[in-house]
Amino acid sequence: MSYTLTLRTAEEASDTERREAEQRFRRALDAALGDASLVAPTYAAYLQIVGTYGDAPDLDALTSAEREVFDQWQAAESAAMTAAFGPHRYMDDAWFDIGG
């Protein structure tokens, strides 16, 4: 299963800079989750968890499967943001839209 990825940023970025950041993010996200085919379903499950429990859920309220998905997505997204922008980048400045 493939997914779409689009960089959104308030800062000016050239098409090349945007494309390179998207590629770095995609590579890191795919690697962290194990395969590109796992991104869309893992993200969908994460969004369902957040929709049910909120952005910062009480982890004790999650089932073990929900906790695993929640933790796995957050770690993968963090690794991908670091790969795309570096470890000192403020994440409020840019984000990625992910579609299935």
Q: What is the 3-state secondary structure (H, E, C) of 28-44?
A: HHHHHHCCHHHHHHHHH
How many residues belong to the chain? 100
- Residue 1 vs residue 7, higher pLDDT: 7
Q: What is the pLDDT averaged over residues 83-89? A: 77
Q: Is the pLDDT reported for residue 11 higher than 80?
A: no
Element (H, E) at 95: strand 94-99
Who's near 29: CB < 8 A, 6+ residues apart?
Answer: 39, 76, 77, 79, 80
Q: Which residues form the domain of 71?
A: 4-99
Residue-level pLDDT at 92: 54
Task: Look at residue 49 and tell me whether its pLDDT is greater than 70.
Answer: yes
Number of structural domains in the chain: 1
